[in-house]
């Protein structure tokens, strides 16, 4: 699986749904490909106000959007608040 292409598709899906990418001082999503693992990781980077409840809600929103777009979404078994995204088999 070419994780860079999947990462681009994930970014497009989240942007199209109105989600903001992370920028300094603003909460938003961050997407990275893991070429050795064969998946893409998505997390929510906190902004100036670091409330965990807002971050949890954002991750749930990302999960729903990506599942609706046909991606397979799982929680990372190693890192909390990180989603593992793959294309459906």
Q: How many CB atoms lie within 10 A of CB 39?
A: 22
Report whether 16 contacts 32 (CB < 8 A). no
Confidence check: pLDDT of 47 > 80: no
How would residue 50 be classed by pLDDT, with cut points 50, 70 and 90?
low
pLDDT, tens digit, 9 for 90 and up, residues 2-28: 788 899 999 999 999 999 999 888 889
Average pLDDT, the chain: 87
Over the Cα atoms of the chain, what is R_g?
Answer: 12
- DSSP bridge pairs for 32: 41
Considering the entire predicted model, what is its pTM? 0.86
């Amino acid at each position: 699986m070419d994780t860079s292409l999947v990462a681009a598709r994930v970014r497009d899906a989240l942007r199209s749904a109105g989600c903001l990418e992370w920028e300094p001082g603003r909460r938003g999503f961050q997407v990275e490909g893991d070429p050795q693992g064969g998946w893409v990781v998505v997390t929510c980077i906190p902004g100036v106000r670091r409330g965990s409840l807002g971050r949890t809600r954002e991750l749930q929103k990302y999960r729903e959007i990506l599942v609706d777009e046909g991606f397979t979404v799982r929680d990372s078994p190693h890192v909390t608040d990180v989603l593992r995204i793959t294309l459906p088999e």
